[in-house]
């Protein structure tokens, strides 16, 4: 196995390792290694020092220029409160269906097709209609009467 093939295999392994560690860093080292392997294979570079220098420069260039975009593509959009306001406040006053009977004030409801943990001081049974009156973190506070 020649050195160009080793660079390309190392690049593929680095890219595949990103599946295990979703930090979106190894993929750029992998891309840089593949580029170095291809340049070496086509005879455009030869010396070891140039290989490692090019690998380092390409890795850092790719990492700093494209990581933000790639991270949003692969990890998904996560917003800080300054980037995108919470939409949970929009659900206050929404109608929900009780999915599981409330026991000791806790139960499950369905809002927009998604099940949520909920709290209520009302006695609610599965199939009942309730209304969102507040939220406490990721739990909804619901009531049998529609808020004004």
How do residues 9-25 score in pLDDT, each as one tens digit? Answer: 999 998 888 877 767 78
Residue that finishes a domain, picked among 75, 99, 119: 75
Shared domain check, 62 and 31: yes
**High-pLDDT (> 90) share of the chain, %:** 51
Tokens 């890795």 identify what position?
59
Number of domains the chain is built from:
2
The whole-angstrom separation of Cα 23 and Cα 7 is 22
Please give the residue range of the domain that contains residue 109.
91-143
Report the predicted TM-score, pTM, of the whole model to 2 decimal places.
Answer: 0.48
Residue 80: its pLDDT value, please? 46
Round to whole Å and give the CA distance between 131 and 144. Answer: 6
Provide the CA 115 distance to its chain's centre, in angstroms: 20
Banded pLDDT at 61 (limits 50, 70, 90)? very high
Mean pLDDT along residues 29-57: 94
Whether 79 shows a pLDDT value over 70: the answer reads no
Measured CA to CA, the distance from residue 139 to residue 87 in angstroms comes to: 14
**Single residue among 75, 106, 129 that ends a domain in this structure:** 75
Residues 142 and 28: their CA atoms lie apart, in Å, by 47
Residue 26 pLDDT greater than 50, yes or no? yes
- With respect to residue 95, please indicate whether it lies within any of the assigned structural domains: yes
58 φ/ψ sector (left φ>0, alpha ψ -120 to 50, else beta): alpha
Q: What is the mean pLDDT of residues 96-121?
A: 91
Residues 62 and 11 in one domain: yes
In a domain, 115, yes or no: yes
Residue 18: CB atoms within 10 Å: 18
In a domain, 37, yes or no: yes
The band of 82, judged by pLDDT with boundaries at 50, 70 and 90, is very low
Residue 73 pLDDT grade (very low, low, confident, very high; cuts 50, 70, 90): low
Angle value at C-alpha 112, between 106 and 118, nearest 5 degrees: 10
Q: Is there a domain that residue 38 lies in? A: yes
> Do both 71 and 113 map to the same domain?
no
**Residue 33: which pLDDT band, with cuts at 50, 70 and 90?**
very high
Tokens of 42: 């086509």
DSSP string, 50-61: HHHHHHHHHHHH
Confidence of residue 86 (pLDDT cuts 50, 70, 90): very low
What is the C-alpha to C-alpha distance for residues 83 and 90, in angstroms, rounded to an integer? 17
**Is residue 80 a part of any domain in this protein?**
no
Average pLDDT over residues 46-68: 91
């Amino acid at each position: 196995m020649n050195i160009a093939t080793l660079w390309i295999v190392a690049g593929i392994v680095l890219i595949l390792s990103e599946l295990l560690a979703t930090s979106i860093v190894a993929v750029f080292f992998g891309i840089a290694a593949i580029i170095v392997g291809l340049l070496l294979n086509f005879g455009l570079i030869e010396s070891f020092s140039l290989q490692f220098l090019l690998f380092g420069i390409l890795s850092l260039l790719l990492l700093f220029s494209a990581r933000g975009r790639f991270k949003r593509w692969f990890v998904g959009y996560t917003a800080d409160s300054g980037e995108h306001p919470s939409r949970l406040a929009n659900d206050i006053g929404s109608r929900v269906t009780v999915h599981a009977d409330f026991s000791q004030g806790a139960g499950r409801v369905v809002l927009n097709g998604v099940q949520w943990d909920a709290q209520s001081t009302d006695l609610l049974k599965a199939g009942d209609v309730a209304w969102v009156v507040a939220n406490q973190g990721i739990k909804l506070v619901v009531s049998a009467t529609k808020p004004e």
